Structure 1
Amino acid sequence: MKTSKRLTAINQRVIKHYQDIWDCCCDHGLLGAELVKRNSASCVHFVDCVPQICQQLEQQLQQHLAYSSSSLTSPWQVHCQDVAQLKLGKNGNQLVIIAGVGGELCIQLLKGILEHNHAVEFELIICPVHYQYELRQFLQSNGFGLINEQLIEENRRHYEILHLSTTANSSIHHVGDTMWDLSKPEHRAYLNKTIAHYRRMGGKTVHPALRAYESLQDHSLLDNS
Structure 2
Amino acid sequence: MGKIRLSKRLTNVSEYVKKLGTLADIGSDHAQLPIYLVQNKNVSKAIAGEVAKGPFQVAKSEVESHALEDKISVRFGDGLEILAPHEEVDTITICGMGGLLIGNILNEGIRQKILSKNTRLVLQPNNAEKELRDFLQKSNYEIIAEDLVEENHKFYEIIVAEYSEKNIQYTEIERTFGPLLLKEKSSTFYKKWEAELKTNKYIVEQLKNSKNSEKLKVTQKIIHQIKKVLS
Note whether the superposition's TM-score is higher than 0.5: yes
User: What's the C-alpha RMSD, in Å, of the aligned pairs?
Assistant: 2.8
Query: Structure 2: 5+ residue runs without aligned partners?
Result: none
Question: d(CA) in 2 for partners of 1:46 and 1:219?
Answer: 38
Listed as ranges, the matches of 1:55-204 within 5 Å are: 55-66=57-68, 74-87=70-83, 90=86, 92=88, 94-117=90-113, 120-121=116-117, 122-167=119-164, 173-175=174-176, 176-180=178-182, 181-182=184-185, 184=187, 186-197=188-199, 200=203, 203-204=212-213
Find the counterpart in structure 2 of residue 218 from structure 1: 228
Q: Which moved more, 1:57-66 or 1:124-133?
A: 57-66
CA pair 14-118 structure 1, distance change in 2 beyond 3 A: closer
- Tell me which amino acid in the other structure corresponds to 1:136: R
TM-score normalised to structure 2 length: 0.78
Question: d(CA) in 2 for partners of 1:118 and 1:33?
Answer: 24
User: Does the residue aligned with 1:174 lie in a helix, a strand or coil?
Assistant: helix
Find the counterpart in structure 2 of residue 70 from structure 1: none
Deviations 1:175-209 (A, max 9, x none): 2122244461x3223113334555637643433x8
Deviations 1:94-118 (A, max 9, x none): 2110001112221221221121226
Deviations 1:9-49 (A, max 9, x none): 0112225222x211110021111111111333332000001
Query: Structure 1: 5+ residue runs without aligned partners?
Result: 68-73
Q: Is the 8 A contact 1:84 1:111 kept in 2?
A: no
Question: d(CA) in 1 for partners of 2:221 and 2:134?
Answer: 15
- Tell me which amino acid in the other structure corresponds to 1:120: S
Q: Is the 8 A contact 2:9 2:149 kept in 1?
A: yes
Q: Is the 8 A contact 2:17 2:23 kept in 1?
A: no
Q: Is the 8 A contact 1:145 1:168 kept in 2?
A: no
Identity percentage of aligned residues: 20
Q: Is the 8 A contact 1:146 1:171 kept in 2?
A: no
User: Does the residue aligned with 2:159 lie in a helix, a strand or coil?
Assistant: strand
Q: Is the 8 A contact 1:87 1:117 kept in 2?
A: no
Query: Offset at 1:89?
Result: 6.4
Q: Is the 8 A contact 1:87 1:113 kept in 2?
A: no
Q: Is the 8 A contact 1:88 1:117 kept in 2?
A: no
Question: d(CA) in 2 for partners of 1:32 and 1:210?
Answer: 42
